Amino acid sequence: MFTEPDRLDITRSTTGHLGFGHGPHFCLGASIARAQAEIALGALLKRYPELAFAAEPKRNCDGGTWRLAALPVRLTG
């Protein structure tokens, strides 16, 4: 991906991040990040069970995966 990948160069231009990739470069923190998201969303929905979508979620394509750009919500009731 980069020329001289073993050399730290903070001025290097990037073409994207390598996190949550596939194969040997798969992010080591991916599973804990997913667990944290599951726990946080579960706690949010438990505290605000009336939470509902206010509009369609907006997504961005990022290197073959779809990531949320916006998730508008509202409290009903």
- The contacts of residue 58 (CB under 8 Å, 6+ apart) are 68, 69, 70, 71
Got the DSSP string for 14-49? -SS--TT-SGGG--TTHHHHHHHHHHHHHHHHHH-T
Give 20's pLDDT tier (boundaries 50, 70, 90).
low
Q: How far apart are CA 67 and CA 51, in angstroms?
A: 21
CB 41 within 8 A of CB 58: no
Residue 49 reports pLDDT greater than 60: yes
Question: Please, what is the average pLDDT of the chain?
Answer: 82
pTM for this model (two decimals) = 0.54
Residues 1/18, Cβ–Cβ less than 8 Å: yes
Token pair for 21: 């990739």
